């Protein structure tokens, strides 16, 4: 394929965009006002009015702020990282990139095991913080990778190896992607 895009990823991305557009189209005007960030204000004359949120504010800032808040919460949270058969961190390929699997709790790990038809096996895991994964493990992995949190759950999150998420030196959008040392967790 001349574009270099993984056809499976392109199809998944197309489906995600279609679902997002369908959700947006299904929103009622009251849904839109609840999520747009509009609020009442008080003017100097004492009358109240409604601030109108700009389209940029409603469509970009709110999701960006939500993403930042989730990243901050992930960095401070202990997560479970299952080990593979060779006692390395379990990674899965998706969209042309490898992802380190991480889970918020044993129930989330069990959903993942069930989704893989591996619910009967024993899962060995390490408990580490999200910050350790992003700041220390990803840089020494030896290959570009991100972190997939609760990938089989109702609210999965992907932390790609990009600036602002992982150290700049290993970010796909600005780094050199070379390991910086041994992996000891």
Q: How far is CA 92 from the centre of its chain?
A: 14
pLDDT given at position 21: 65
List CB contacts of 78: < 8 A, sequence separation 6 or more: 127, 128, 129
pLDDT given at position 46: 39
pLDDT given at position 6: 45
| Torsion angle of C-alpha atoms 162, 165, 167, 168, degrees rounded to 10 | 40
Identify which of 92, 94, 100 has the alpha carbon closest to the alpha carbon of residue 125.
100
3-state class percentages of the chain: helix first, strand second, coil last, to nearest 5? 40, 20, 40
pLDDT given at position 103: 98
pTM above 0.85, yes or no: no
Q: What is the pLDDT of residues 127-157, one digit of tens each?
A: 999 999 999 999 999 889 999 999 999 999 9
pLDDT given at position 14: 61
pLDDT given at position 53: 45
| Torsion angle of C-alpha atoms 173, 175, 181, 184, degrees rounded to 10 | -20
Domain ranges of the chain: 78-170
List CB contacts of 87: < 8 A, sequence separation 6 or more: 124
Number of residues in the chain: 185
- Give, for all 185 residues of the chain, the pLDDT tens digit: 333 444 555 566 666 666 666 666 666 554 444 433 333 323 333 333 344 444 444 555 688 888 999 999 999 999 999 999 998 999 999 999 999 999 999 999 999 999 999 999 999 999 999 999 999 999 999 889 999 999 999 999 999 999 999 999 999 997 555 555 444 45
Residues 135 and 116: their CA atoms lie apart, in Å, by 28
pLDDT given at position 152: 94
Distances (CA, A) of 114 to 7, 111, 117, 121: 27, 5, 5, 10
pLDDT given at position 47: 37
């Amino acid at each position: 394929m001349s574009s270099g895009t993984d056809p499976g990823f392109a199809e998944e991305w197309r489906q995600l965009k279609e679902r997002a557009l369908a959700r947006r189209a299904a929103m009622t005007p009251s849904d839109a006002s609840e999520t747009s960030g509009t609020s009442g204000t008080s003017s100097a004359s004492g009358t109240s009015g409604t601030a109108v949120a700009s389209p940029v504010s409603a469509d970009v800032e709110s999701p960006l702020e939500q993403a930042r808040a989730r990243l901050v919460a992930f960095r401070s949270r202990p997560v479970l990282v299952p080990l593979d058969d060779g006692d390395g961190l379990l990674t899965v390929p998706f969209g042309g990139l490898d992802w380190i699997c991480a889970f918020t709790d044993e129930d989330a790990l069990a959903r993942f095991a069930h989704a893989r038809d591996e619910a009967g096996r024993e899962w060995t895991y390490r408990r580490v913080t999200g910050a350790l994964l992003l700041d220390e493990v990803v840089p020494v992995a030896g290959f570009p990778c991100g972190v997939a949190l609760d990938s089989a759950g109702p609210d999965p999150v992907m932390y790609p190896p990009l600036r602002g998420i992982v150290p700049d030196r290993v970010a796909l959008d600005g780094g050199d992607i070379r390991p910086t040392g041994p992996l000891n967790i």
